[in-house]
Amino acid sequence: MVGPTLKWKYIIASTLLILVILSVFSWQNLRIQEQQIAKDDEERVKLITDIIKNGLITIMLEKRGREFQKFLETLIAEDIEEVRIFNENGRIIASSVPREIGNKIYDKDMQMFLTQSEPEVFTHRENNKVFYSMVIPIANEEACKQCHFDNAKYRGVLDVEISMDRIINRLQLFRYQMIIFSALAVITLSISLSIMTKHLINKPIEGLISTMKKAEAGDLSARFKTTRDDEIGKLSESLNSMLAQLDSARKEIEKLHYEEYQRIEKMASIGELASAIAHEIKNPLAGISGAIQVFSEEFPDNDPKREIIDDIILEIERLDKAVRDLLNFARPPVPHPLLTDIRSMIDRLMNVISSTAEKQKVDITLDIESDVGKAYLDPEQLQQVFLNIALNAIQSMPGGGSLLINVNKQDDMVVFSFKDSGMGISDENTKNLFKPFFTTKNTGTGLGLSISKNIVEQHGGYISVTSQSGLGSTFVISVPMKGIIDDQA
Ligand code: ADP
């Protein structure tokens, strides 16, 4: 399932964030505004109450007391709902609701109205309507005593009730405005964000993706062109340079592949030719060798001609080895692994090389791990590898030296190492060492190490060399103890 795109993730996240921030700020603003409006209204109620009170006092001082009722009735307009006057005994003497004139409130309430220190505006609910109320006592001032001859402290109480509908409507309107403003802000911001992300992020990313897809499909010449110098610009620069490098690396690999293919083809035909020639040489060579042996028996041991015949036999053996190497190289034999005792394999090797080593003044030291035991390998083929490496080592020490043969187990591998103190191998030659026909010897075929590598790899192992010119070389052969599955066996 394909998830939302980066653009939509970004827009949704930003919109939600804006929505939360706007809601918090709007809510806070609404609360402040509500408090402000409530405070303003309370002030207004106080002012209205004061104006009414002053109006009443004026009417009284003008001795038009009978006009109270009329005055109160004219006040009922807009949000002034009810106005009433209590006399000092708590009886209603004038009211904007005429039917309640004569009613009396509890003395306790009256007492409370008269003794309040600072008259305050309070709210109360009646018939699902909310009112502001303010009750203020009317003091018996000196001027009042012109008509009222008692010493009462108050002449009565004025009760003004103002509907809160106005403020509730105002607040409601304010809330709606707030919601509309927030919604508009969120919509505008979302649209702007969507346009911005499309141009700033989406388009270039889509361009980068399509370039990468082209490259993925094999077109490494694809590039993403942009004039931007921001992160997108840097990203496309890196992508383009990576693609350029990949392109040139691929061309290089293709060139090497082609060269390698041509080399393999050439090698294959040379191999075929060599193997055909080797076959042709092998049989007559065996005949010549047999005939020379018979011929040599006709001469007594001390005859000087015997030496010449020995040289001929040696040369024939060399030719025979070269022919065998060629055939081995052209058609490598498949290994037939047997459970082989490793120590006895090394002992056999020692029997073969010890006289040559002695002649060359090369000391051979064996260091074989005591419990090296047995391994599944083709003893004939590995013997050929060891012989080739050991003889190379001996030949690298014409003035004598030492050869250390070390055998040990490492995990499930058996590791053979041949360390000589010979002339060593230059870095340049090390690169070509395992290539067929590479030799530095006049009489060499240059096939020994190539065949050895092939044999070791056929056993599922590997061969490596470390060398220092003038100090000696170490060849290490590792083969699996349990051998490889021999499906041809
Ligand atoms: P060949 O012995 O016929 O030359 P190899 O494939 O066995 O063919 O060896 C290739 C070349 O590797 C040798 O000619 C020699 O230059 C180099 N070489 C192999 N072993 C050693 C060694 N132990 N010390 C120095 N050079 C070596």
Per-residue pLDDT of the chain in tens (489 residues, 90 and over written 9): 456 677 788 888 888 888 898 889 888 988 898 888 888 888 888 888 888 888 888 888 888 877 878 888 877 766 788 888 898 888 998 888 889 889 988 888 888 888 877 888 888 887 788 888 888 988 888 877 777 777 778 888 888 888 888 778 888 888 888 889 888 988 898 888 888 888 888 888 889 999 999 999 999 999 998 888 888 889 899 999 999 999 999 999 999 999 989 988 887 787 778 778 888 888 888 888 888 888 888 888 788 888 888 888 888 888 888 888 888 887 788 889 999 999 999 999 999 999 999 999 999 999 999 888 899 999 999 999 999 999 999 999 999 999 999 999 998 999 999 999 999 999 999 999 999 889 999 888 899 999 999 999 999 999 999 999 889 999 999 999 987 644 433
Phi, psi of 22, rounded to the nearest 5 degrees: -60, -40
Ligand 1 atom closest to 441 (CA): 14
Task: Encode burial over 1-20: b for 16+ CB neighbours within 10 A, e otherwise.
Answer: eeeeeebeebbeebbeebbe
Q: H helices within 298-439, ranges in order?
A: 304-330, 342-359, 379-395, 427-432
Cβ of 440 below 6 Å from ligand 1: yes
Determine which residue's CA is closest to atom 23 belonging to ligand 1. Answer: 393
Cβ of 222 below 6 Å from ligand 1: no
Domain 335-488, what architecture?
2-Layer Sandwich (3.30)
Task: Encode burial over 445-483: b for 16+ CB neighbours within 10 A, e otherwise.
Answer: bbbbbbbbbbbbebbbbebeeebeeeebbbbbbbbbbeb
Tens of pLDDT, residues 85-140: 898 888 998 888 889 889 988 888 888 888 877 888 888 887 788 888 888 988 88
Determine which residue's CA is closest to atom 12 belonging to ligand 1. Answer: 433
Please give the CATH number for the structural domain made up of 6-170: 3.30.450.290
Contact between 389 and 373 (Cβ < 8 Å)? no
Sequence spans of domains, the chain: 6-170, 220-331, 335-488
C-alpha–C-alpha distance, residues 91 and 108, integer Å? 13
CA of 464 relative to ligand 1 center, distance in Å? 13
pLDDT given at position 484: 63
Positive or negative, the CA dihedral 67, 68, 71, 73 is negative
pLDDT given at position 186: 84
Task: Please report, as a single letter, which amino acid is at residue 306.
Answer: R
Cβ of 318 below 6 Å from ligand 1: no
C-alpha–C-alpha distance, residues 356 and 396, integer Å? 13
Task: Tell me the whole-structure pTM to 2 decimals.
Answer: 0.51
Ligand 1 atom closest to 389 (CA): 20
Q: Would strands 129-139 and 121-126 be described as parallel, antiparallel, or unpaired? A: antiparallel
C-alpha–C-alpha distance, residues 282 and 328, integer Å? 13
Q: What angle do CA 409, 480, 380 make, to 5 degrees?
A: 100
C-alpha–C-alpha distance, residues 458 and 430, integer Å? 22
Phi, psi of 263, rounded to the nearest 5 degrees: -65, -45
pLDDT given at position 4: 66
Q: Nearest-CA neighbor of 134 among 109, 162, 153?
A: 162
Contact between 435 and 263 (Cβ < 8 Å)? no
Determine which residue's CA is closest to atom 18 belonging to ligand 1. Answer: 392
The CATH number of 220-331 is which of 3.40.91, 3.30.530, 1.10.287, 3.30.160? 1.10.287
Helix axes 304-330, 448-458, angle to 10 degrees: 40
Instruction: Choose which residue among 395, 449, 450 to substitute to test ligand 1 binding: the one with the highest number of ligand atoms within 8 A of its C-beta.
Output: 449
Token pair, residue 114, equals 């008269």
C-alpha–C-alpha distance, residues 13 and 217, integer Å? 34
Ligand 1 atom closest to 392 (CA): 20
Contact between 156 and 88 (Cβ < 8 Å)? yes
Determine which residue's CA is closest to atom 11 belonging to ligand 1. Answer: 439
CA of 445 relative to ligand 1 center, distance in Å? 10
